[in-house]
Structure 1
């Protein structure tokens, strides 16, 4: 009688099972996929960028340029205009959109501008107004900066921008600009000791609240800004895709014969 053949031979290592993997393609995706142009999105974004640029220009021409450019509202709107010009061009040419880290930051800053203006500056004294001597065009430009531009930017993000392009790791980076603006505002106030407009926002006015009060206000605002940034990321990952398109297979269905 013959001995049974063992299923496993002791002392011999098992042969590794290698599964064939996909080799990385040296050809980028845009070389095999036709670019998708979005002329309507490009037109909307171009109009938004021109409106924001016009409002900033009117405020600079009618007011003191150095004072106007020191406002958070003007700086954030100028940043949004630059970013929106770039997104409009990419929508028109069909190129890849800008990184969500950049577009999300621009949206967050103009949202902060609108919310702070309507919630904290509605009853502020005239000394904290955007323009020294508000006129008709300056008042209209201020409304555009604080209301129309934030709303239009939010609509662009909700209706024309693909979702899930921002991440929670971006929120900490987005807080660097408000922190830098706080340092800029305090430094500007120290460099203009006799100027009545040394502080542009009442909650950052050291002459009224002292450094302890201003830093407390800045801490509360910073937490609110961070919560707003987290909310934008959460909404970005839960909202539907407004630009979803049906894939084209290249096949056409024909009516059955007979």
Structure 2
């Protein structure tokens, strides 16, 4: 089963690379300004590591990495669903009958979340990790704002970070609202991690669970929680 899990994860790497092919294949570096494309590259890195580790029955990537990638992929899917305009109905299929938008905004986020829930070891995340994950979306807001200043005439990648249209007040409101939403979503992931079994529900094996544990998990020895003689 661990081989099947590994192949599934490597397939997600293929999807992520297909979605970003205009960057790495065609040299369209402007595409890196999009949060979606950045997330796809993060998915490719994390799942290449996780896929090979699964096939070889080696320890999985650290929890902060897989959890963070899951959060960013979830953000990509939710923002596409709730905020962005629908994809052009005439968009061509590029892989397995799927369009670029379907791959990056629907299939990949759902598959990454499914991997987190079913195939990933749990009980390794801490509440503070959700706040640490928030640094990346906030850095993205800062990046798009600075880019707009140093590169006049450049289009903002998304309407909710468009300083020219929103003004400083509108942009700061969006930073607070989106930041709060991302933090809540991160806390939800941490909460799920804390209630799911430590070993992956599907395809788990002893080496799949690294040594790290959340601080409130007490190791219980035969003599009791403290390791001493029974009372």
Task: Trace 1:14-53 onto structure 2 (pairs within 5 A).
Answer: 38-53=2-17
Q: Is 1:239 aligned to residue 203 of structure 2? A: no
Mark the runs of 5 or more structure 2 residues left unpaired by the alignment.
Answer: 207-231
Measured against aligned partners, the alpha-carbon deviations of 1:49-86 in whole angstroms (never above 9, x if no partner) come to: 11111111146657x81321110000011101110000
Matching residue within 177, 180, 185 for 2:144: 185
Deviation at 1:234, TM superposition (A): 0.4
TM-score using structure 2 length: 0.79
More displaced stretch, 165-174 vs 81-90: 165-174
SS in 2 for 1:136: coil
* Shift in CA distance, 122/60, structure 1 to aligned 2, threshold 3 Å: farther
Alignment of 1:204-243 (within 5 A): 204-240=161-197, 241=199, 242-243=201-202
Cα offset, 1:141, TM superposition:
1.3
Instruction: Look at both structures and tell me which one has the larger radius of gyration over its CA atoms.
Output: 1
* Count of aligned positions: 200
Paired residues of 1:114 and 1:146 also in contact (CA < 8 A): yes
Within the candidate set 68, 77, 92, 1:136 is matched to: 92
Structure 1 distance, partners of 2:9, 2:75, is 20
Partner residue, 1:156: 115
Deviation at 1:243, TM superposition (A): 4.1
Unaligned runs of 5+ in 1: 1-36, 124-128, 248-258
Tell which deviates more after alignment, 235-244 or 202-211.
Answer: 235-244
Q: TM-score, normalised by structure 1?
A: 0.71
Q: CA deviation at 1:179?
A: 1.2
What is the RMSD of the two structures over their aligned residues, measured on CA atoms?
Answer: 2.5
